[in-house]
Amino acid sequence: MRILASVAVVSCFAVWPCAAQTILKSEPLMLAPYEVAFVKDASCPSGKVLKVTGAIRGLHRRKACVALAGEQASLATATP
């Protein structure tokens, strides 16, 4: 029973940091392939952020405007 309880507690803490997404103020210059960054800029309408996905060499980054819930996102304090 103790093992089951400890596994449940550890899994909750392992998932918790992944729930929040950091929103950057500007698009990062370097982005690893398939890495995702959320950017708040004027290219997307109000209430949406730019989702930038890194690409492998020779391909362009994928960019799309997406809506994020308030509890999922936090504004980054530092710019890249």
Q: What is the pTM of this model?
A: 0.62
pLDDT score recorded for residue 21:
75
Condensed to tens digits (0 to 9), the pLDDT of residues 51-66 reads 999 999 999 999 999 9
Domain positions in the chain: 20-75
Say how far apart CA 50 and CA 27 lie, in whole Å: 9
Q: How many CB atoms lie within 10 A of CB 9?
A: 10
Q: Identify the CA nearest to 69 among candidates 26, 12, 21.
A: 21
